[in-house]
DNA sequence: TCCATATTTCCAGAATAATGGAAATATTGT
DNA sequence: ACAATATTTCCATTATTCTGGAAATATGGA
């Protein structure tokens, strides 16, 4: 993963409203939830919600799928996983460090 | 971990210069590196470096230790680990999702 | 003490991000 | 086509963050 990509993902999550949205979607799994309901659940006004959903989607952390008149948003676990792997990469210079092993770490012998 | 804490950690990492500093320190392990050398290695002017080091330290991602006239900074792997666990927590609502298992996940049966 | 170097603080300008009301644009059911 | 509801865009205001020069402050060595 490029450093710039990582910064984009981290910046997308480094905001209280967006982190709340993302975590709400993470728990719901692949089915997700439509924008309106997300706004209701977290008490976010439409314009603000739209802004943050776009940010998350642009970062690739969530994806949208049209379903009738609704747009369902769901978490993209791939992006999440790649970010975790990136953050744990080369942790402690290869020594034991107590971090949850990332996929890269496992193979490298972290 | 509190959501606010997570936002603080994520915000600290969601900046190109700081992410570079942190990753530089992560590879070096517990010994770390003094501020001056960090600035040289990454070509960051003193004032800017100081600003970012303070941000990272305030978030708890790095720690400082005085050694003679130098101040050595090193990564705090505990904080990193907690953040990873927080992000992976409740991933996919407990279903298999391909995320590197966090410590919480392992016990809960993710 | 005086010097050299490390590090931080001060400060102000520049850049970027967040907010939400109002209006515009979908989309489906009737 | 019309009504009802979902969602986005427009836009201006406000808030926050980033940057780095210059000066101040620390620390140890000569």
In tens, the pLDDT along B30-59 reads: 999 999 999 999 999 999 999 999 999 999
**Domain tally for chain A?**
1
For chain A, give the percent of residues with pLDDT over 90: 69
Report chain B residues whose CB lies below 8 A from the CB of A78.
98
Low-confidence ranges of chain B (pLDDT < 70): 90-110
A34: domain CATH number is: 1.10.10.10
Any residues with CB less than 8 A from the CB of A82 and at least 6 apart, and which? Answer: A1
Identify the helix (H) or strand (E) that includes residue B11: helix B3-13
Distance of alpha carbon B4 from alpha carbon A19, whole angstroms: 10
| Whether B103 contacts chain A with CB within 8 A | yes
Mean pLDDT score across all residues of chain A: 86
Residue A71: φ, ψ to 5°:
-120, 115
Q: Which nucleotides of C are covered by protein (CB under 7 A)?
A: 5-10, 17-23, 26-29
Q: Is A19 near strand D, with its CB below 7 A from some atom of it?
A: no
Note if the pTM is more than 0.75: yes
A54: nearest nucleotide, CA–C1' criterion: D8
Whole domain around residue B67: which residue ranges? 3-90+98-108
């Amino acid at each position: 993963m490029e450093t710039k990509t990582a910064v984009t993902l981290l910046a997308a999550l480094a905001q209280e409203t967006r982190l709340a949205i993302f975590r709400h979607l993470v728990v719901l799994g692949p089915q997700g939830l439509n924008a309106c309901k997300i706004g209701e659940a977290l008490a976010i006004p439409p314009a603000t919600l739209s802004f943050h959903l776009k940010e998350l989607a642009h970062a690739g952390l969530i994806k949208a799928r049209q379903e009738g008149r609704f747009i369902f948003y769901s978490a993209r676990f791939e992006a999440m996983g790649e970010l975790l792997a990136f953050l744990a990469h080369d942790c402690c210079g290869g020594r034991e460090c107590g971090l949850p092993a990332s996929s890269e770490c496992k193979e490298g012998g972290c």
